[in-house]
Structures are given as C-alpha cells and as structure tokens.
C-alpha cells in the first residue's frame, strides 16, 4: 500500500489512537490546530508546521525574505486559531551543500520582521545539511487562559459560521504565478497575500474573549477541508451558502480574466490563513458589530451549524448543490 491510497489524514488516523493512553486526561493531543498542555496558571499551546521546497514553495519564485516570513506566519496562524498569545518559536532548517549564506541572511530578515511584529522571540532550532532541497520546520508555542482555547470540537447546533477577511486570494495569487500572468494591477496584491499572509493573532485573542464564540480553526487548506475538520470534531453538520463566501474585488476581476469560477479559489484554495469560527446564534450580530468596532473590518456569515451527522450541505441561492472538490490534502490527488 502506498501513502496516496490513504492520504495525509488517513495516515494520522493509523497511529493516533495508539498514543491516546499516554496523553494525560487534561491534555489535548493530535486533532486540533495546537496541542493544549495545561500549567497551573494557564494553558500552553503548541504546534509545528513544515515547509518543503517544490511542495510548499519554489525557490526561484518566492523571495528568501518572504520564505522566512511565511515560515513563521503559518505557524503563528495555528496559535491564532486557538485564540492564543504567541510566546516563542523554534526553527529547524536543512539546506544542500553550497547553499548561499546571503539567501539565508535574507530568510532570517523576513523571519525576524514577523517575530518583531508579534513580539515572538526565536528560542532555538536545528541546522543540518540536506541531500537535496530546502526544508524548514517551525515549532511555535503560546498560551491562553485555562480552558479557554477555542477548539475545533466546540461547535454547537444552531451556531452561525463566520470567516474573517476574504477567501481565495492566496490561491489565485499562486495560480497567477503558475500562469506567469502579468499586466494587471491586482496581481501584486494577490501574490503578496500568498507569500506574506498575516496571521490573525489579535483577532483570535479578541474572539477567544467573547463567550459566544465556540469553535475556531484557521483556514490553511481551504474551507471545504477545514470546515470538515470542525464538523467532524464537533459531531455536528453544517450548511454553507456558497454565494456568501467573501471574495475580494481583486479575486473577482482576475478570476474573470482567467475564465475560472471564483469558487475554485474561495472554496478549495488553501493558505488564506483567515479564521473560521462559530458563534451562538443570538449573539451573532453583537460579534459582527464588536469585531467591526475593534478591527475596522467586516466578518462574514457563511452558514449555520446543524445537529448530528458530520457532513456539509452546500447551497447556492438556497438550492442544494454538489461540491466534489476537497481542499488541499498531502498525498491525495
């Protein structure tokens, strides 16, 4: 059997349960954006993410500064997804023989810039030679008040489902690069969203402080895939209005130029690093207004959590539609 036949999540499911008895009762292990390790005063949040050359990035397409920035950004996003405050990071990097030091200097400038923005020190790591290609692994840790992390498993029937920002910008930016598109002034904006995503740390903390916000996840693999994690973990189902998915004017313009349905990006495109969260129905307007007041930005209601099952019903103009496409999943075609 090869790994393509089970995929990334199939693999995780094969070994996950064998560790359960080693996980203390008050810990949260595999299955959320971060593991939760309680301390007397607060909960530690821990997560790790890897970026591999020619899988997650192509060296001559991304700048070294952006690669350094993005390596930390995607990890900070997992802390944001739990409503955590970041504390520190560890960085391991492996490069082939003869790799230019000037490249690495620029890489660390990007990593440092984002570390400054969120006041997160680099506390350690590892440096090794690779047989071929660059691989980067970052481990991030953070904290939040005891028992208050926003888990994927906390969605409740009746909750409204919201997302921050707009969806699909990052993936259409990537597509624009693949197509070597040029000549449109929105392209730079979209490509920047792909290479320099902003982890929603402040927004995550604010949302965690709102009692009516129940479950949260960051959108790294596209909402079709990430919302599935929420409904499965929460043992609920969801109904999504596809025509409510927020897309930027830039995405709409470029998707039209590419003659591609914007949903190909907003629904299954990954790497937006926006937050998807569920809110008790009766408080949805308060959260929407409070978020706008605090951040000057709109959040968008895209659907509702329903009782039972663990599926997602996709609707367009109130009509149920088939969505066969999945978000990004390593090893699945």
Q: Is the CB of 78 or the CB of 85 nearer to Mg ion? A: 78
Out of 30, 58, 260, 325, point to the residue binding ligand ADP (CB under 6 A): 30
With the CA atoms of 205, 207, 210 and 211 taken in that order, what torsion angle do they form, in degrees rounded to the nearest 10? -100
Token pair for 132: 């071929």
| DSSP H/E element including 319 | strand 319-321
Shortest reach from residue 13's CB to ligand ADP, in Å: 9
33 forms part of the interface with Mg ion (CB under 5 A):
yes
Q: Is the CB of 75 or the CB of 115 nearer to Mg ion? A: 75
Integer CA distances (angstroms), 318 to 130, 157, 184, 205, 243, in order: 52, 19, 34, 33, 9
Give the number of residues in contact with ligand ADP, rule: CB under 6 A. Answer: 8
Residue 308 in contact with residue 238, Cβ under 8 Å? Answer: no
78 forms part of the interface with Mg ion (CB under 5 A):
yes
Shortest reach from residue 28's CB to ligand ADP, in Å: 9
33 forms part of the interface with ligand ADP (CB under 6 A):
yes
Q: Which residues contact 17 (CB under 8 A, 6 or more apart)?
A: none
Task: Please state at what angle helix 64-80 crosses helix 201-208, rounded to 10 degrees.
Answer: 0
Separation between Cα atoms, residue 200 and residue 77, nearest integer Å: 6
Partner from Mg ion, ligand ADP, none contacting 49, C-beta within 5 to 8 A by type: ligand ADP
Out of 36, 44, 45, 49, point to the residue binding ligand ADP (CB under 6 A): 49
Q: Which listed range, 25-33, 54-62, 90-98, 188-196, lies at the site for ligand ADP (CB under 6 A)?
A: 25-33
Out of 12, 55, 58, 260, point to the residue binding ligand ADP (CB under 6 A): 12
Burial class (CB in 10 A: 0-12, 13-18, 19+), 211: exposed
Q: Which listed range, 31-39, 117-125, 130-138, 307-315, lies at the site for ligand ADP (CB under 6 A)?
A: 31-39
Q: Is the CB of 62 or the CB of 82 nearer to Mg ion? A: 82
With the CA atoms of 108, 109, 115 and 117 taken in that order, what torsion angle do they form, in degrees rounded to the nearest 10? -170
Out of 7, 31, 88, 311, point to the residue binding ligand ADP (CB under 6 A): 31
Q: Is the CB of 176 or the CB of 213 nearer to Mg ion? A: 213
272 forms part of the interface with ligand ADP (CB under 6 A):
no
Shortest reach from residue 51's CB to ligand ADP, in Å: 11
53 forms part of the interface with Mg ion (CB under 5 A):
no
3 forms part of the interface with ligand ADP (CB under 6 A):
no
Out of 218, 272, 274, 301, point to the residue binding Mg ion (CB under 5 A): 218
32 forms part of the interface with ligand ADP (CB under 6 A):
yes
Residue 162 in contact with residue 69, Cβ under 8 Å? Answer: no
Separation between Cα atoms, residue 271 and residue 70, nearest integer Å: 10
For residue 148, how many other CB atoms are within 10 A of its CB? 14
Q: Is the CB of 81 or the CB of 190 nearer to Mg ion? A: 81
Q: Quick check: helix, strand or coil at residue 26?
A: coil
220 forms part of the interface with ligand ADP (CB under 6 A):
yes
The DSSP annotation for 31-90 comes to TBSSEEEE-SSEEEEEEEEEEEBTTTB-TTTS-HHHHHHHHHHHHHHHHHTTT-EEEEEE
Out of 43, 78, 274, 301, point to the residue binding ligand ADP (CB under 6 A): 78
Q: Which residues bind ligand ADP (CB under 6 A)?
A: 12, 30-33, 49, 78, 220
Q: Which residues bind Mg ion (CB under 5 A)?
A: 33, 78, 81, 218, 220
């Amino acid at each position: 059997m090869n790994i393509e036949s089970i995929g990334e999540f199939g693999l995780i499911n094969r070994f996950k349960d064998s560790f359960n008895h080693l996980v203390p009762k008050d810990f949260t292990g595999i299955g959320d954006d971060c593991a939760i390790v309680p301390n007397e005063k607060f909960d530690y949040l821990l997560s790790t993410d890897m970026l591999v050359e020619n899988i997650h990035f192509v060296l001559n397409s991304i700048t070294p500064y952006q690669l350094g920035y993005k390596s930390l950004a995607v990890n900070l996003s997992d802390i944001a997804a739990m409503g955590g405050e970041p504390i520190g990071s560890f960085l391991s990097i492996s490069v082939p023989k003869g790799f230019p030091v000037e490249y690495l200097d620029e890489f660390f400038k990007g990593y440092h810039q984002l570390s400054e923005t969120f006041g997160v020190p680099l506390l350690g790591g590892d440096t090794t030679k690779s047989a071929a290609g660059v691989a980067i692994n970052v481990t991030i840790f953070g904290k939040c008040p005891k028992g208050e992390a926003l888990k994927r498993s906390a969605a409740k029937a009746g909750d409204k489902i919201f997302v921050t920002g707009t969806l699909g910008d990052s993936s259409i930016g990537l597509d624009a690069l693949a197509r070597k598109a040029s000549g449109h002034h929105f392209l730079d904006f979209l490509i920047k969203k792909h290479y320099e995503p902003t982890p929603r740390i402040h927004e995550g903390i604010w949302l965690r402080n709102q009692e009516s916000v129940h479950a949260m996840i960051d959108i790294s693999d596209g909402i079709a895939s990430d919302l599935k994690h929420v409904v499965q973990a929460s043992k609920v189902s969801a109904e999504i209005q596809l025509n409510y998915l927020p897309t930027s004017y830039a995405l709409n313009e470029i998707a039209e130029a590419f003659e591609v349905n914007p949903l190909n990006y907003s629904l299954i495109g990954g790497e937006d690093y926006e937050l998807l969260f569920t809110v008790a129905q009766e408080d949805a307007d308060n959260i929407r207004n409070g978020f706008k007041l605090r951040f000057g930005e709109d959040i968008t209601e895209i659907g509702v959590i329903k009782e039972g099952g663990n599926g997602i019903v996709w609707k367009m103009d109130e009509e149920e539609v088939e969505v066969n496409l999945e978000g990004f999943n390593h090893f699945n075609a």
